[in-house]
């Protein structure tokens, strides 16, 4: 039997992604989000949503660029930290000990230690309500070579983090349960 839970943002799985931006003085900032997703294949685009009150919001409006950095499980503490303090008050790179790398392609920094990063150029800004959705065209994806198997990214090596909203918990990726566009055939 289904129970009504009301008008809430409860859906599974949600990602744990870290948005990299520069402020006016080129101080790099990072902020963790769970509100985001791929929104177009061609051009390849990713959407991220931020509140106007965040430091990253102003940075993206100013720089028209951001990176999306995928933390691996081993950086779950840093990713959580990046979501709990504001770049207005602290330098999160300095505090966390992680390394900011200037993108050659867009006006934003990425996190050197994270296994996969997307460099994005802002192409659309959608005001929705409490959150503003920024659509970024993915100009390049960079990944640690050690995580690839014959040039293909392996999620089992990458170990991204999953956010479970109702319990506010982080999870790892579990077992492979099938091949896409394949296991459902001939139902």
Question: Within 36-75, which residues bind a second copy (CB under 8 A)?
Answer: 36-47, 49, 68, 70, 73
Residue 174: HSE in the Cβ half-sphere, 13 Å Cα cutoff:
5
Supply the minimum distance, in Å, between the C-beta of residue 23 and a second copy: 21
Residues 141-180, interacting with a second copy (CB under 8 A)? 141-145, 148, 152-155, 158, 160-180
CB 37 within 8 A of CB 15: yes
- In whole angstroms, what is the distance from residue 163 CA to residue 82 CA? 14
* Count of C-beta atoms within a 10 Å radius of residue 60: 23
The CB-of-27 to a second copy minimum distance in angstroms stands at 18
Query: Any bridge partners for residue 83, and if so which?
Result: none
Do residues 50 and 19 make contact, with C-beta atoms less than 8 angstroms apart?
Answer: yes
CB of 106 to a second copy, least distance (A): 12
- Find the binding residues for a second copy in span 77-136 (CB under 8 A): 77-84, 95-96, 112, 116-118, 124, 126, 128-131, 133, 135
Cβ neighbours of residue 128 under 8 Å, at least 6 residues apart?
49
The nearer residue to a second copy, 23 or 73, going by C-beta atoms, is 73
In the complex, least distance from residue 75 CB atom to a second copy, rounded to whole angstroms: 10
Using the rule CB under 8 A, which residue among 15, 23, 27, 61 binds a second copy? 15
């Amino acid at each position: 039997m289904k129970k009504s839970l009301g008008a809430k943002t409860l859906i599974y799985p949600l990602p744990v992604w870290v948005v990299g931006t520069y402020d006016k003085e080129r101080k790099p900032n990072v902020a963790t989000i769970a509100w985001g997703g791929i929104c177009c294949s061609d051009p390849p685009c990713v959407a991220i949503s931020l509140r106007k009150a965040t430091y990253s919001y102003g940075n993206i409006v100013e720089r028209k660029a951001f990176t999306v950095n995928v933390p691996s499980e081993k950086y779950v503490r840093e990713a959580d930290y990046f979501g709990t303090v504001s770049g207005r008050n602290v330098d999160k790179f300095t505090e966390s000990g992680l390394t900011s790398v200037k993108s050659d392609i867009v006006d934003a920094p990425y996190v050197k230690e994270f296994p996969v990063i997307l460099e994005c150029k802002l192409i659309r800004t959608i005001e929705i309500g409490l959150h503003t959705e920024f659509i970024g065209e993915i100009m390049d994806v960079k990944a640690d070579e050690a995580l690839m198997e014959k040039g293909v990214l392996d999620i089992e090596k990458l170990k991204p983090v999953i956010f479970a909203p109702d319990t506010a918990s982080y999870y790892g990726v579990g077992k492979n349960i099938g091949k896409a566009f394949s296991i459902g055939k001939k139902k």
